[in-house]
Chain A
Amino acid sequence: MSQAERAAEAEQTQTKYLGFWIYLMTDCILFASVFATYIVLRENTFGGPGGGELFDMPFVLIQTLLLLTSSFVCGLALLAARARKKAAVIGWLIATFIFGAAFLVLELSEFIKLIGEGHGWQASAFLSSFFTLVGLHGAHIAVGLLWLVVIVWQIMRLGFTAGTTRRLTLFSLFWHFLDVIWICIFTIVYLMGVL
């Protein structure tokens, strides 16, 4: 690879990094709007039970710890990628996937339980905003898991190219960002909901 090609590739990486960071920032604004909606509507339970009766706190704590661990392990995968250790990267990424998928399964089982007990999103304004906010985060996690599968497959096939390492770096940003959003959900929706 010539000097000029290398410089062009470095610039492309910087541009994509900037673009992805701006996407994350706009996604923060989207989440902020949904958070504002939730906070406004949280008291409007239409005679039904509020968060205090509906939320199972130990369950949510396990979810939080799973997501935090997934985020940490994803960071370890990124570090292993910088050291060019292919087997370690794939191992850590699979662990990231398992923790992330476990989180999503717990979240879906909470949703199924709530809907089964008649507390679906159509029951009250509180539940509509709850499902929108937590579901939006869950949808991001689901998309992230799909992206993770593609990255693992690409690293297995192509090894560490400029493209695969760049995608892994951007994925780690996305994954840590979802962790940050979850901390807000954990505090505002769950902890303040049961107080």
Chain B
Amino acid sequence: MEKIGSVKSYSIGFGMAIIFTLAAFLTVTSGWFSQGAAIAIISLLAVVQLIVQLVFFLHLGRDKVKWKASAFYTMLLILILIVGGSLWIMYNLDYNMMSSDAMEQYMLEESKKGF
């Protein structure tokens, strides 16, 4: 039988999940941060929250069995390839197949940014 944790470990996980959710929510709604900083903060909070959930709720890495973690890391590799690859390809496609109007607009915006 796999390990399922205790009331204590579930409560810690739940408490941390609530805190990270509220922190991410405040980061966006308070308007204290610039857009770039806010995106970085909520991405970081989401990653930490995902790790908390995987460890405290899904018990990843706490089992005696090894296949759970290996299946997870295989999935993670495929996931990164799919999401990363799609975004990379689509961004390039978007850039290379711009209409002449859109290109003009794009160059105008880029030139405003200066060097």
Contacts and interface: CB of A to CB of B under 8 A. Distances in A.
> Are these two chains actual partners, yes or no?
yes
A191 B59 CA distance: 27
Interface in B43-67: 43, 45-46, 49-50, 53-54, 57-58, 65, 67
Given A180-B58, A195-B28, A29 B79 contact: yes
Contacts of B10: 72, 75-76, 79
A32 B87 CA distance: 12
Chain A contact-residue range equals 35 or more
Interface string A166-183: 000100110011011001
Interface string A24-41: 011011001101110110
A68 B82 contact: no
Nearest to A173: B58
A186 B87 contact: no
Nearest to B54: A180
Chain B contact-residue range equals 35 or more
Contact of B42 (A35, A61, A82, A192): A192
Interface stretch (B16-24, B95-103, B107-115): B16-24
B35 A36 contact: no
B57 A32 contact: no
B86 interface: yes
B75 A183 contact: no
Contacts of B65: 14
Contacts of B78: 29, 32
B106 interface: no
B38 to A, nearest CB: 6
Contacts of B13: 72, 75
A61 B23 CA distance: 11
Contacts of A25: 71-72, 74-75
A194 B28 contact: yes
Interface string A11-27: 00110011001100110
Given A21-B67, A69-B14, A78-B4, 5 more contacts: A21-B71, A65-B21, A76-B7, A180-B54, A183-B50
Interface of A: 10, 13-14, 17-18, 21-22, 25-26, 28-29, 32-33, 35-37, 39-40, 57, 61, 64-65, 68-69, 71-72, 75-76, 78-79, 82, 169, 172-173, 176-177, 179-180, 183-184, 186-188, 191-192, 194-195
19 contacts: A17-B2, A18-B67, A21-B67, A28-B75, A32-B79, A35-B83, A37-B86, A39-B87, A61-B25, A64-B21, A65-B21, A75-B13, A78-B4, A176-B53, A176-B57, A180-B50, A183-B46, A188-B46, A191-B28
